[in-house]
Chains A and B, each alone.
Chain A
């Protein structure tokens, strides 16, 4: 079993829909990252969380440390949000990241 699990693996939405991507992990962590990867490979960091909730524009990320679960929400989705969204955790007492397999999001006009 992977230490970081994401769901769903694939997600299709109509423009304007509210989107939720989930991430569960099974190890102790010091931080959780949400990353965005566009075709061609470039990865951009969206959020880093150690507790609570963060918001940036239409994106909201939450984390529940006790339940070892995080969610990424996109409000008013747009076709330019189409990308792979990856959850990654930084294990306690280490500096390396462990990644989920990603959620491929397609938003249609």
Chain B
């Protein structure tokens, strides 16, 4: 257990539905990252926050994706109008925000869109 939690751990939904995932980082960490990992591939960066500010978004993050970190603590990732191609593991990580440091990963939320 790294101290980063994600909820839910698994989600099955039908195409077109909206889904929301939550990440609770290690409490003193001010950086929070979202990644997506498809089967057999390494994770891909989606977005990251410094406290409540969203500092960078990947081009992978289409208009159907939105992420928030309203109070600089937990974060949510919402996918609207899900598509089958959204099926993946969504990983969250957190860090203190120092230049040379480790990111601590949560267990991930596995999404299956039918």
On A, residues with C-beta under 8 Å from B are 4, 30-31, 33, 35, 40-45, 48, 50, 86, 88, 94-102
Contacts and interface: CB of A to CB of B under 8 A. Distances in A.
13 contacts: A30-B99, A31-B100, A33-B102, A41-B108, A43-B93, A43-B108, A44-B2, A48-B102, A94-B56, A95-B48, A96-B33, A97-B33, A100-B42
**Chain B interface size range:** 20 to 34
Contact of B42 (A41, A42, A88, A95): A88
Contact of B108 (A42, A45, A95): A42
A30 B108 contact: no
Contact of B40 (A96, A97, A101): A101
Smallest CB-CB A-B distances: 5 pairs:
A99-B42, A41-B108, A43-B105, A96-B45, A45-B102
Contacts of A100: 42
A96 B48 contact: yes
B2 A101 contact: no
B100 A45 contact: no
B64 to A, nearest CB: 21
A79 to B, nearest CB: 22
Contacts of A45: 102-105
B62 interface: no
Given A88-B42, A95-B48, A101-B40, A48 B100 contact: yes
Given A41-B110, A100-B42, A95 B105 contact: no
B42 A86 contact: yes
A98 B45 contact: yes
A50 B100 contact: yes
Contacts of A101: 40-42
